[in-house]
Chain A
């Protein structure tokens, strides 16, 4: 039993995500962690932007803020500095957080406000119908790249590391235990923590790229560790060694960790209680 289920706004469920959408799995891991860590969500705020991923916060019975496209981190920064005692978690997508909101992301990383940002990365704009995202790999098909994507993709983790984030990790929907552990580590971290979670858009991205539906798509994340590739420049041609497609993956786990004072500490905000470590 997922103890996080008790934290859902039951009268809003079931959620609007498509059948098999990886975002639901990430959401499930997130509430599981919340239930494990917090006796009550009174002091937890979830801030999201716009997009399928961002809809997730509305179903969780915390202080939830569904903001404008790309700007969740700025709302979260204001909220956190006004109420430093709150735990503030930002839920964003790849389009929301890296496209329209990319500027806020790098600056949030630079400021090192004690926030946790979870980026649901499905390589596409789901809510608007499966268009090109900043994380869509080269050659992939989307509704706005009918001839394949000519551009290169962002590696979100490298970006925020360069911008100064003090905790950077990557997880995937397919490995819920790894995901849960990393969410916990991110929440434990003192400073700006960033989690790039590979998830899937069954409705658009998978159909356009023939990655299969539901579980097939999910399984396409299961390439063994030896075959993990850092190469984001080329669309890993869909290979079918066992009769279903396989995609290249990026390294998982904690990719960067460092220690410097949070903005709350530097500003000496009275309500702020720095975490251990």
Chain B
């Protein structure tokens, strides 16, 4: 793990549109390439112009085949946004770790539910032993611009990786606009020292979420694996498995917004709420059902 030319690992950068997720992925990939590693990068950008979820999966090693990270194979999650990071938890390897900003950004499509109090912002994993949460925007502000929060997190990640600071700085120089370079280099540096410096804000305990009764039903044999639901779901619930059929990763997050059902061209997904559940009495397999 310590030889930068022999390392084999998977990183996910997760956030929402406008945070620079894709850029961060590019920087990581650039650094890996410097060491002659094979890099595969897969991006998912949903309604990113509208603050929708964006992620960048970076796989690197001496030789990498598939572009997508499988369950238990994810070594690092870099969460620019807390909820976005959480979506990737099911993929995290037992030794993997999470660098995450405690910043909350609510995707507009889920806004209705969150604002009404039907669904609360999920903070339950804050105490997870592998989660290292800190207020990245505050550090970025300290560096000169709150927008450099992502680079703060990259800095934190860099501590875990065997790549030299020089190479990181080179990559930053290549990708970040000259105007903002100085601030970004400073933010990166602050990120590297986050453990000593970062003012970790422990969020207030929240009242027990009012869960809504939502069931997700999948007609597997009708799914053609187009990936539309994967990308439209504001909660990032769906993922494509090896059979190129979708699978619910974290159905408990479903807000019942119905986007996936309405945009699935193949009638494969049913989002069942209490009002519609009776219709489906004999229906197929219920994937998930809250408490």
Contacts and interface: CB of A to CB of B under 8 A. Distances in A.
A28 B45 contact: no
Interface residues of B, number: 35
B34 interface: no
Contacts of B230: 215
A6 to B, nearest CB: 7
Contacts of B47: 219, 222
Interface residues of A, number: 39
Interface in A222-239: 222, 224
Residue from A20, A29, A32 having most chain B Cβ neighbours under 10 A: A20
Interface stretch (B2-10, B91-99, B126-134, B270-278): B270-278
B215 to A, nearest CB: 9
Contact of A19 (B43, B46, B48, B226): B226
A266 interface: no
Given A1-B270, A1-B272, A3-B276, A24 B232 contact: no
A24 B266 contact: yes
Contact of B263 (A6, A8, A25, A244): A25
A216 B43 CA distance: 11
Nearest to A21: B265
A8 B261 CA distance: 15
A115 B272 CA distance: 33
Contact of A176 (B49, B222, B263): B263
Contacts of B226: 19-20, 202, 213-215
Nearest to B48: A242
Contacts of A2: 261-262, 267, 270
Interface in A178-231: 202, 213-216, 218-219, 222, 224
A25 B276 contact: no
A171 to B, nearest CB: 13
B217 to A, nearest CB: 8
B228 interface: yes
Residue from A14, A174, A224 having most chain B Cβ neighbours under 10 A: A14
B276 A1 contact: yes
Contacts, number: 101
Residue from A25, A27, A202, A219 having most chain B Cβ neighbours under 10 A: A219
Contacts of A224: 49
B231 A14 contact: no
Interface in A1-58: 1-3, 5-6, 8, 13-15, 17-25, 27-29, 32
A32 to B, nearest CB: 8
Contact of A28 (B46, B262, B276, B280): B262
A215 B231 contact: yes
Nearest to A244: B45
Contact of B265 (A20, A32, A242, A243): A20
B267 A28 contact: yes
B227 A214 contact: yes
Nearest to A202: B226
Contacts of A176: 262-263
A277 interface: no
A241 interface: yes
B222 A13 contact: yes
A186 to B, nearest CB: 18
A30 B50 CA distance: 27
Contacts of A242: 17, 45, 48-49
Contacts of B277: 1
Interface in B153-179: none
Interface in B43-74: 43, 45-50
Contacts of B221: 14
A222 B47 CA distance: 8
B266 A219 contact: no
A243 B43 contact: yes
B251 interface: no
Interface of B: 17, 22, 43, 45-50, 217, 221-222, 224-228, 230-232, 261-267, 270-273, 276-277, 279-280
8 contacts: A5-B270, A19-B226, A20-B226, A24-B266, A215-B46, A216-B231, A218-B228, A242-B49
For the complex of A and B, 4 pairs with smallest distance between CB atoms: A24-B265, A20-B226, A19-B224, A215-B231
